[in-house]
Every structure is written in C-alpha cells, then in structure tokens.
Amino acid sequence: MVNEKKPVMFPIPESTGFMKKRSYSVQILALQEVSVVGAAGTLLLCFDCSVPQESKPIGPIKNSPSEKRHIASLEKNLYADIEAAWLALMTRYGIHPENVSIYGHSRGTGPSVGLAAQSESAAATIHSPLTSGMGVTFPDTKKTYCLDAFPNIDKNSKITSPVLIIHGAEDEVNDFSHGLPLFEHCQRPMEPLWVKGAGHNDVELYGWYLERLNQFVSQELEREHKQGE
C-alpha cells in the first residue's frame, strides 16, 4: 500500500525554464512502502503544471506571431523543467529509470507524456489530460498539426511502460473526450479510471481515486514487473 506518512522530498536543481518563476510544481516523492521494482521502492515523479491565471492559454486562440511565440516558449520551458528533475534523479541521487513512475496532471501531462515516451520509466499516470493544445481550443480536431502544442495523442503511443489514465467525466477544462483517444493509443493501457461527476480539479476527492492508484502501484505494476522477468 502507498505510504500514508509524509513522503520524502528530493530537492531538484533549477532549470532554464519556468521553474525559476515558480509557476508550477515539480515534486519527486519517495513512496517507501511500494516495492514494485527493487527493494528501494518506487519513486513518483509528479508534474502538476499550474501556470498563473495571467498566463495565456495553450490553444492557439489568436493566430498572431506573439501568441505563437508564447505557446512555443511555454512548451519548451515545461519540457526543460521536467527533464531537469529527471536528470537530477538519475545523476544526483543515482535512481534508475525503472524505479520511477511519472505522474502528470492537466497541462503537466504534456511534459510527462513526452518524458515517458523517451524514457524507460516504471509507469506513467496521466490525470485530466489533453490530446493536444489544438484539441483544447477546437474540440472537433481529430489530429495534430505542425506547431501544435503538447501533442500527447502522438507521443502517448510511444510509451512502452504501463499507462493509467484518470479523467473526470465532467471535466470543464480538458473535456472527457480527450481521455478516451489517449487510452486507445496506449501500447500497454491499464484499466482507466473515469470518475462520474468529477471535474478538472476535484477527482482526488472521490474515493475511487486513491483506490485505483493503490491498485495500480501496489498490485498491477508489481505483476507487470514479475511477468517481464
């Protein structure tokens, strides 16, 4: 079971991105009682992107050069920051990739999916995701386009580790329709959690949330690991 005590926090270095501005949080949590891969347990790399309200949205609402530059800069900085956290785990703390589970929420699913697609992490949890920036602004968009921000729908299929997708059925930010195609594009999809009645930021208030995470981390990942031995 997941340790209910306060998790161990690993300090991470500042990158060249938004981390210096403290516009979102990157947390590295040590879940000491989760023996999934190896005796040391599994680390949970959480990327919860909470860009300030004054920041412009992801989707290209305005087709102006300044808007495009802003979106490109935002995406680049977020990727740089999660990669800095990942590098700190590997080099500063000597943690192996297979002992790290990546967790991304909302806009943070963009960098999280990108990292999971190019690493050999233990698993990835995608919470309240978006298929792409274009998909948020134009819900009828079925594919990504050149310069589309956070093309999760393209990168998700490249993740080779188990993927758990969590989404509130009443999500008012990233519509529930974003979660379904991401699930369908997974190489190793686990049973998703669709939370009836939940919105974008209150999924954690439902009992099924922790139950599903516990099951995923303490049972399913352990089973997947044993099958791979």
pLDDT digits (tens, 9 = 90+) for 34-93: 333 333 356 667 666 544 433 444 444 455 666 666 667 777 888 888 888 888 888 887
Q: What domain count does the chain have? A: 1
For residue 161, give its domain range. 8-223
In a domain, 219, yes or no: yes
Task: Reply yes or no on whether the pLDDT at 212 is more than 60.
Answer: yes
- Give the pLDDT band (50/70/90) at residue 188: very high
Positions annotated as catalytic residues are 106, 171, 200
First to last CA, the chain: 22
Closest listed residue to residue 105, CA positions, set 89, 129, 80: 129
Q: What is the separation of C-alpha 155 from the centre of its chain, rounded to a whole number of angstroms?
A: 12
Radius of gyration over alpha carbons of the chain, in Å? Answer: 17
Structural domain contains residue 101: yes
Tens digits of residue pLDDT in 107-142: 889 889 999 999 989 999 999 998 887 766 666 666
Q: Is 65 exposed, middle or buried (0-12, 13-18, 19+ CB in 10 A)?
A: exposed
Q: Which residues pair with 42 in a beta bridge?
A: 31
- What is the per-residue pLDDT for 5? 41
Q: Which spans in the chain are helix H?
A: 65-87, 109-117, 133-137, 152-155, 179-184, 207-215, 221-228
Per-residue pLDDT band for 192 (boundaries 50, 70, 90) equals very high
Residues 6+ apart with CB under 8 A from 1: 33, 34, 214, 218
User: If phi over 0 gives left and psi between -120 and 50 gives alpha, with beta otherwise, what is residue 60?
Assistant: beta
* Polymer length in residues for the chain: 229
Give the model confidence (pLDDT) of 4-14 as tens digits: 444 444 554 45
In a domain, 2, yes or no: no
Residue that wins the pLDDT comparison between 94 and 208: 208
Q: What is the pLDDT of residue 82?
A: 82
Round to whole Å and give the CA distance between 173 and 176. Answer: 9
Tell me if 1 is assigned to some domain: no
Looking at the chain, the whole-number percentage of residues with pLDDT higher than 70 is: 61
Residue 127's beta-bridge partner residues? 105, 166
46, part of any domain: yes
Residue 149 confidence (pLDDT):
73
Residue 3, in any domain of the structure: no
- Say which CATH number the domain at 178 has: 3.40.50.1820
Residue 156 lies in a domain: yes
